Amino acid sequence: MSVRKPLPHDAAPLHVTGAARYVDDIPTPAGTLHLAFGLSPVAHGEISALDLAAVRAAPGVVAVIGPDDLDPMPDCSPSAHDEPLLARGTVSYHGQPLFLVIANSHLAARKAARLADLRCAEAPAILTIDDALAANSRFEDGPRIWTRGDPAAAIAAAPHRVEGVIEIGGQEHFYLEGQAALALPQEGGDMVIHASSQHPSEVQHKVADALGVPMHAVRVEVRRMGGAFGGKESQGNALAIACALAARATGRPCKMRYDRDDDMVITGKRHDFRIAYCAGFDGDGRLAGVTFTQYARCGWSQDLSLPVADRAMLHADNAYFLPAVRIESHRLRTHTASATAFRGFGGPQGMVGIERVMDHIAHSLGRDPLAVRRLNYYAAASGPAGGPSAPPSPPEDISNQKKPTTPYGMEVTDFILHEMTDVLAERAGYAARRAAVAAWNAENPVLKRGIALTPVKFGISFTLSHLNQAGALVHVYQDGSIHLNHGGTEMGQGLFQKLAQVAASAFGVEVGEVRITATDTAKVPNTSATAASSGSDLNGMAVKIACDTIRDRIAAHLAETHQTDPRRVHFAAGKVFVGEEEMTFAQAAQSTYEARVSLSATGFYRTPGLSWDRIAGQGRPFFYFAYGAALSEVVLDTLTGENRILRTDILHDAGASLNPALDIGQIEGGFVQGAGWLTMEELVWDAAGRLRTHAPSTYKIPAVGDRPGVFNVTLWDGANTQETIYRSKAVGEPPFMLGISVLMALSDAVAACGPGYPAPDGPATPERLLAAIQRVRE
């Protein structure tokens, strides 16, 4: 079979040679116009006057669309219909689009957009979590609260207790290709949109709504994106709508792309969180009860904040059984860019909270943090879990739960982190290296080392259940070549190659025989976003269903012509075997075509067994869990706060991997991005609500030199217990949270500087680490 082979990314040669075509590379017709938004210079206020005369008179300007030119005002929101394309009356954040410039060139549009005469009565802006709490500025009437048991009583009765607060910063997506869209007007009022979007169907819906036409009048095509990480799930709606409106108004193709500074100012980021916690536990570190209060800064509009905050609550347990727990979540409205989807979708923030609790418990008891973590793990899965052989875990490390359930009532039946932790700790020499770190720290007053092994248990599925569906369209041509289209989008993660491998395996041919074309709403309708790590799971099954339908038709035809049982027809190595006879796949396709049997089929898949009540916080929101563990060692300069990741060892669960090479690449990239979020990627707003870190010169992402000096990644050898595509597991988001091991390792290094608990916030920049060092020494 073609699946499970470590094949290279299908577009790798195009990427490295610069031949890969993105939206901004598409050859455009003569007369194409270029767009730019005029942006608000204030974070909050009432517009008293907006004079656009100078903008309209600027060189190269063809037209200008102001808020008064649009009635009704198009909505860009993916959820609550609270994101007008252009601000009208009230300005809600610094950088909010106020008007639209249509010009002959990108540069002319950008220059003209700076010429508006705006008069605005500036009002006090709600910028921080504290501001929002003081003003009771929220997206729900009150906090969302989920509970199990009586955590207050459990904590009060426990022999030991810790409490604290951790601040967790946001994160810029920093996709290499910025936001972009191109609208091509068609006859009869139809519109073709080329978008850099993870969600073509949402773009189709929003553009159709803005134009006042049915969805069938809008076709959206996405060939590839130059990265997304969640930042192109909803943030591209505004560009596509603007281009479509301008194209209809002028009758000419219209194109829009954000410059990097504008992109960072206009678009949303990862939600920054504050998490307060209180935990009670016994002398070994076993939790009796824990409470979390999560505060999420959501920005000016709702966007996807509610499900993001929900997922932070869903992952507040990570890998640990919480016998009594209360999780309280506040979704706060502020005058900042609307926070949006980001790799992990709230899960990373929730996990950082419980990992801080485990670290704090271990420090308070003077125990090895890994021992405390393992003690609180969910009970091991019954029956074989796959993977390399491992020594049995000590009995005290296994929780005594008969049916371990999450705080939201879902049984955890596939827990394999006991075995994975044992294997990783032994293979990477955890015990010896921890002793070596302690010895080093005893002898070195300036450079301190730290080490930490942290787990990941991540739920796979959209928590909005109806999104767990996908479609595919497959054609087999009479020459045996295969055309495949599906609802997923390619953003560099290798989805297209994996699905080509699925199709090739179904027909027993080489991957080169399969051509996947651009994602197109005219071919596969009503698609879900390529998000929630669902791309391969959902679309892979849809592709297989379509391919199996065509393969069975070919088999039935050949069985009839050869007067044999269809079960004696086999597809392998580019050939079709009918009993003792054989033919090429192309010959089989030609014969089937000549017999007037359809060689085209659609496939549809929906994830089974999901049931979720987000208000009650109960049900089964996930089809399964993906697991992983990372062991990171760091060195910290206690005089400057500078630090390096010396070594990272990862063991990650991708099920029966569809493509080990692509999955390992995703794991490496996810880890580095997660470590960057928690160590160096700092977003800074000033007192006026202006984003000051809005360019590569002021916002630092991990570079090649920031990766671990020694970086070992291994896939866990075990199939998914659930019936996924070839028993594989999602690998898009779970590896991101492996980066938490770096924050915990830095905490370990700081702890070597004094008796106090370090409690570094994220990102643990040199400045924050120096402050933590000072705290532990006091």
The whole-angstrom separation of Cα 602 and Cα 505 is 17
Q: Are 315 and 350 a contacting pair, CB within 8 Å?
A: yes
Parallel/antiparallel/unpaired status of strands 272-281 and 254-257 = unpaired
CA distances to 318, 462, 656 from 620, in Å: 16, 11, 23
The whole-angstrom separation of Cα 192 and Cα 522 is 10
Q: Are 231 and 267 a contacting pair, CB within 8 Å?
A: yes
Q: Are 484 and 529 a contacting pair, CB within 8 Å?
A: no
Question: In terms of Cα–Cα distance, which of 428, 423, 496, 497 is closest to 718?
Answer: 423
Strands (E), 369-489: 447-460, 469-476, 482-486
The whole-angstrom separation of Cα 359 and Cα 263 is 37
Residue 377: which residues within 8 A CB-CB, separation 6 or more? 319, 320, 321, 397, 398, 399, 415, 417, 418, 421, 455
Phi, psi of 461 (to 5 degrees): 160, 160
Q: Which helix (H) or strand (E) holds 350?
A: helix 347-365
Residue 14: which residues within 8 A CB-CB, separation 6 or more? 20, 21
Q: Are 360 and 290 a contacting pair, CB within 8 Å?
A: no
Considering the candidates 163, 733, 767, 778, report the single residue annotated as catalytic.
733
Q: Tell me the H-state helices in 680-777.
A: 740-751, 766-777
Write the burial class of residue 485 (CB in 10 Å: 0-12 exposed, 13-18 middle, 19+ buried).
buried
733 is catalytic: yes
- Using DSSP's 3-state secondary structure scheme, residue 515 falls into strand
The whole-angstrom separation of Cα 76 and Cα 27 is 27
Task: Show which residues are catalytic.
Answer: 733
